[in-house]
């Protein structure tokens, strides 16, 4: 009986090799793994003694030999196969223990030649050969499986179910590995292939999904270095499916708004948003924008939470506070709340470039909404510089609000957010209905899509709106423009729609 061991991650390799040797297996190995096993005192055969050929091309070719793959792939119950390997003096290999070059880590270097050199060829080939012939060969790709392997071998408990499980893990690893390589080369050439593969690595098992009867897991995408890639939960309960889902929207909006912005969010929808000279002032304004909905919601701060900000935050129940960091006094205050989740975000990380929606038998992939809006004044009245600042702020917020969406804002903070409506006028009316005590006089309005009728302008006028920003593009644009001119409201067309579903 023989086992081939060739590893990049050499965790517990000496222990594994010793255990296999005690069970009667001859150990074959390559390169650095050979040296590691030999150093441990285990008898080990160099791969070149099996292939009858030295490693060549600086290690690029080691195991690509019929003396290796013939020993792995031949079917033990096939007489023709048995005859062939006997005639060619090919010895069986019964266990293959392999993991792969660290291509994912090589990506971080940005050095193309180094990245290419870290594309493993022999490793995936060994894994696929062994996994294909799983009925006769055990393939192990994860160091966490070593103990179970040895235990099953000792107790003669290697059944077909176990073999299939190892094969599943093996093929999953090579598929994952190739997906990262594929995505790298698509980035290199600036073109998307006909075949798209996305490899994700499990990071955590969540208590449940969107609802308690749904199972859920958290995976990491190795190819991107996104805002949540290295997010760190420094206090509180474990994050849930809904926590991560909501946090993503809040962080993306806070990132787009920039320094000292605060986003309060509930069920995927912003409820209060502000930018100010300090994070404490931004939070205070976001809280006042909707002090009802913020309860039990999450907060994203593009900045460092200080003592003053933390003191005000501690007055209500919040699920999550995410920020660049928390100063010592802020942590002292907030960690008194046992269950609140405090999360550190690396806002300097990249933003993901694509949005993926998994449908029932189809997959939609689109570019993220990074379109640059135009700023075309279409009315007699021109927005002031302050109006322009508020209009651009409101448009950024409405972009992250479920369609149909309307945002009213003034002095870089929202006064009301209406989203998720099947009629645009209802989104605006909901703001007024939900905030009956707010004076909207002098505010601006942003809409994620064009006005099909002039009714939104009519209602905006009643509220005291002074400027509107919207994409334009309706066949009845002129009706809205005429109403704005009649009421002395300025209006800007951006040409970019910002639906969010």
End-to-end CA distance of the chain: give it in Å, rounded. Answer: 58
pLDDT score at 496: 93
Q: In 10 A of CB 490, how many CB atoms? A: 23
Task: Examine the fold and report which residue of 165, 189, 213 is the final residue of a domain before the chain moves on.
Answer: 189
- Provide the 3-class DSSP secondary structure of residue 244: helix
**Does residue 253 share a domain with residue 175?**
no
At 31, the pLDDT band (50, 70, 90 cuts) reads confident
Domain range for 67 is 2-189
At 39, the pLDDT band (50, 70, 90 cuts) reads very high
Over residues 230-248, the mean pLDDT reads 95
Helix ranges restricted to H, 94-222: 103-107, 112-117, 122-132, 146-154, 160-189
Low-confidence winner among 56-65, 191-200, 442-451 (lowest mean pLDDT): 56-65
Q: In 10 A of CB 456, how many CB atoms? A: 25
Residue 137 · residue 130 · CB < 8 Å: yes
For residue range 79-110, what is the model confidence (pLDDT) as tens digits?
899 889 898 989 999 999 999 988 888 888 88
Label residues 276-309 b or e (16+ Cβ within 10 Å = b).
beebbbbbbbbbebbeebbeebbbbbbbebbebb
Residues in the chain, how many? 501
Q: Would you give the DSSP letter of residue 401?
A: S
Instruction: Give yes or no for residue 250 having a pLDDT over 80.
Output: yes
Q: Are strands 216-220 and 413-418 parallel, antiparallel or unpaired?
A: unpaired
pLDDT score at 51: 85
pLDDT score at 108: 83
Instruction: Give yes or no for residue 56 having a pLDDT over 80.
Output: no
**Does residue 383 share a domain with residue 336?**
no
CA distance 443 to 460: 10
What is the distance, to the nearest Å, from the Cα of residue 259 to the centroid of all Cα atoms in its chain?
23
Residue 93 · residue 4 · CB < 8 Å: yes
Q: 10, 35, 81, 132: which is the annotated catalytic residue? A: 132
For residue 96, is it within any domain? yes
Over residues 254-267, the mean pLDDT reads 96
CA distance 343 to 325: 8
Q: In 10 A of CB 350, how many CB atoms? A: 11
Distances 327 to 16, 234, 331, 485 between C-alpha atoms, Å: 46, 13, 6, 50
For residue 393, is it within any domain? yes
337 classed as catalytic: no
For residue range 384-401, what is the model confidence (pLDDT) as tens digits?
999 999 999 999 999 999
CA distance 341 to 211: 20
For residue 221, is it within any domain? no
For residue 199, is it within any domain? no
**Does residue 273 share a domain with residue 327?**
yes
At 57, the pLDDT band (50, 70, 90 cuts) reads confident
**Does residue 249 share a domain with residue 107?**
no
CATH code of the domain covering residue 284: 3.40.140.20
Over residues 450-459, the mean pLDDT reads 94
Q: Phi-psi category of 11—alpha, beta or left, where left has phi over 0 and alpha has psi -120 to 50?
A: beta
Over residues 350-373, the mean pLDDT reads 92
**Does residue 176 share a domain with residue 36?**
yes
Helix ranges restricted to H, 190-262: 241-257
Q: 10, 237, 267, 329: which is the annotated catalytic residue? A: 267
The tokens of 428 are what?
A: 């605006």
Residue 153 · residue 24 · CB < 8 Å: no
**Does residue 180 share a domain with residue 95?**
yes
**Does residue 339 share a domain with residue 381?**
no
At 52, the pLDDT band (50, 70, 90 cuts) reads confident
For residue range 112-168, what is the model confidence (pLDDT) as tens digits?
988 898 888 889 999 999 999 999 999 999 999 999 999 999 999 999 999 999 999
pLDDT score at 60: 79
Our CA angle for 279, 220, 330, nearest 5°, is 25
| Domains held by the chain: number | 3
pTM of the full predicted structure? Answer: 0.89
CA distance 50 to 34: 13
Over residues 456-480, the mean pLDDT reads 96
Helix or strand run (H / E) with residue 467:
strand 467-470
For residue 362, is it within any domain? no
Residue with the larger pLDDT of the pair 62 and 74: 74
Distances 188 to 11, 119, 183, 185, 337 between C-alpha atoms, Å: 33, 15, 9, 5, 47
Partnered with residue 356 across adjacent β-strands are 365
pLDDT score at 105: 84
Instruction: Give yes or no for residue 53 having a pLDDT over 90.
Output: no
For residue 75, is it within any domain? yes
Over residues 333-353, the mean pLDDT reads 94
For residue 203, is it within any domain? no
**Does residue 7 share a domain with residue 106?**
yes
CA distance 200 to 231: 17
267 classed as catalytic: yes
The tokens of 139 are what?
A: 């393939």
pLDDT score at 249: 96
Query: What's the mean pLDDT when you consider all of the chain?
Result: 94
Over residues 214-238, the mean pLDDT reads 93
**Does residue 322 share a domain with residue 451?**
no
**Does residue 386 share a domain with residue 337?**
no
Over residues 345-349, the mean pLDDT reads 95
- Determine if the peptide bond prior to 404 is cis (ω within 30°): yes
Over residues 407-427, the mean pLDDT reads 95
What is the distance, to the nearest Å, from the Cα of residue 57 to the centroid of all Cα atoms in its chain?
37
Over residues 33-37, the mean pLDDT reads 91
For residue 354, is it within any domain? no
**Does residue 409 share a domain with residue 330?**
no
Our CA angle for 106, 111, 115, nearest 5°, is 40
Distances 354 to 156, 192, 197, 310, 357 between C-alpha atoms, Å: 49, 12, 13, 34, 10
Helix or strand run (H / E) with residue 480:
helix 477-487
**Does residue 157 share a domain with residue 36?**
yes
CA distance 299 to 308: 15
Helix ranges restricted to H, 272-400: 279-289, 307-313, 328-334, 385-399
Contacts of range 239-244, beta carbons closer than 8 Å, 24 or more positions apart = 239/206, 239/320, 239/341, 239/343, 240/206, 240/207, 240/208, 241/206, 241/208, 241/209, 241/210, 241/214, 241/216, 242/210, 243/298, 243/319, 243/320, 243/341, 244/218
């Amino acid at each position: 009986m023989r086992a081939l061991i060739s590893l990049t991650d050499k965790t517990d390799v000496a222990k594994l090799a010793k255990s296999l040797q005690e069970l009667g297996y001859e150990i074959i190995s390559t390169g650095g793994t050979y040296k590691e096993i030999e150093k441990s005192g285990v008898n080990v055969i160099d791969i070149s003694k099996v292939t009858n050929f030295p490693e060549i091309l600086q290690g690029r070719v080691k195991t690509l030999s019929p003396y290796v793959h013939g020993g792995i792939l031949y079917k033990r119950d096939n007489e023709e196969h048995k005859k062939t390997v006997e005639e060619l003096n090919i010895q069986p290999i019964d266990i293959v223990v392999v993991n792969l070059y660290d291509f994912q880590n090589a990506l971080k270097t940005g050095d193309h030649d180094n990245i290419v050199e870290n594309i493993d060829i022999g490793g995936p080939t060994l894994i696929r050969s062994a996994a294909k012939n799983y009925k006769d060969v055990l393939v192990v790709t994860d160091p966490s499986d070593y103990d179970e392997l040895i235990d099953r071998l000792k107790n003669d408990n290697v059944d077909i179910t176990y073999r299939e499980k190892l094969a599943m893990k093996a093929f999953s690893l090579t598929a994952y590995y190739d997906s990262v390589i594929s995505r790298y080369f698509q980035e290199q050439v600036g073109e998307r292939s006909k075949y798209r593969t996305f490899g994700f690595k499990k990071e955590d098992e969540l208590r449940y999904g969107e609802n308690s009867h749904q199972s859920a897991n958290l995976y990491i995408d190795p190819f991107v270095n996104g805002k949540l890639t290295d997010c760190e939960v420094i206090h509180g309960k474990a994050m849930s499916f809904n926590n991560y889902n909501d946090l993503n929207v809040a962080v993306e909006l806070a990132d787009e708004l920039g320094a000292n912005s605060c986003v309060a969010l509930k069920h995927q929808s912003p409820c209060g948003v502000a930018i100010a000279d300090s994070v404490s002032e931004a939070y205070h304004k976001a809280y006042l924008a909707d002090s009802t909905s913020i309860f039990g919601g999450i907060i994203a701060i593009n900045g460092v939470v200080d003592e003053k900000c933390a003191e005000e935050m501690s007055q209500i129940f919040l699920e999550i506070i995410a920020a660049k960091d928390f100063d010592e006094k802020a942590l002292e205050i907030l960690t008194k709340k046992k269950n609140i989740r405090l999360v550190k975000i690396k806002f300097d990380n990249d933003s993901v470039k694509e949005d993926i929606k998994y449908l029932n038998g189809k997959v939609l992939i689109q570019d993220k909404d990074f379109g640059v809006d135009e700023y075309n004044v279409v009315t007699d009245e021109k927005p002031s510089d302050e109006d322009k600042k508020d209009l651009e702020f409101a448009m950024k917020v409405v972009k992250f609000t479920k369609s149909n969406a309307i945002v009213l804002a003034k002095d870089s903070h929202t006064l009301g957010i209406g989203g998720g409506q099947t009629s645009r006028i209802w989104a605006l009316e909901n703001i007024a209905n939900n905030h009956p005590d707010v004076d909207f006089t002098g505010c601006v309005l942003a809409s994620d899509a064009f006005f099909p009728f002039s009714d939104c302008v009519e209602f905006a006028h009643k509220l005291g709106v002074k400027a509107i920003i919207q994409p334009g593009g309706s066949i009845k644009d002129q009706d809205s423009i005429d109403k704005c001119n009649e009421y002395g409201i300025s209006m800007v067309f951006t040409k970019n729609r910002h639906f969010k579903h």
